[in-house]
Amino acid sequence: MPVNLIAHDTRLEGRTPSASRETFTIQVDDTVALDTFFDQAVNIALVNVGINRLSIMAHGLYVRDMDTTAIQFCSELISFQTVGYFARLRGLVDHIILYVCHAAETEMTSRSEGDQLCRQIAILANAEVTAARERQLYTSTEVCHFFVDCDTTPIEFGDWEGEVVHYGRDGMVLAEYPEIPAPADPAPTHPDPRFTMRR
């Protein structure tokens, strides 16, 4: 049965949402190669007859001297130079959700490179992609019991901020949500009816 996969670059501070029988988690950082991450994702997809939803939780970056944007994910980043890795997921994933600031930006760069990067991810993976054009807020708080035993709550994205774009498998925009839509799926364990996959 297809599963969900949460991929969390731990440079986005906070605890990774918990795994379950239906949801796998992978943590990466600047010491993990993209190739290693995609090896793991492909393996999870093959063992479980596919991935319904791949949620990538990471920081968005603006690379000033190149006037481009990227996603701070693994050692190489997700950028135009590395987007080809998503072709390895072709036929294995239905929907990719980018919990990333400015992932689909159209005004930060002169060529709307965030928007173009999201389109390329959709085309290469043959998956629908959901991403925000604006900065995204999230919460993760520390809870202490008796001032000694402290734990951090899982990352909670809550509502999307600003415009949200939903791309089809061909990279074309299926829908745009100009205002804050209904709450997003914060820890991708319950389906969000706005983004339910078409079979």
For 87-135, write each residue's pLDDT tens digit: 999 999 999 999 999 999 988 877 778 999 999 999 999 999 999 988 7
Q: What is the mean pLDDT of each run of 10 residues along the chain (199 residues)?
A: 94 86 95 98 97 96 85 96 97 96 87 91 98 79 66 72 93 84 46 35
pLDDT on residue 64: 82
Report the pLDDT value the prediction gives residue 111, as an integer from 0 to 100: 79
Q: What is the pLDDT of residue 195?
A: 36
Tell me the C-alpha to C-alpha distance, in Å, between residue 81 and each of 29, 84, 148, 158, 180.
18, 8, 46, 31, 32
Spell out the domain ranges in the chain: 3-184
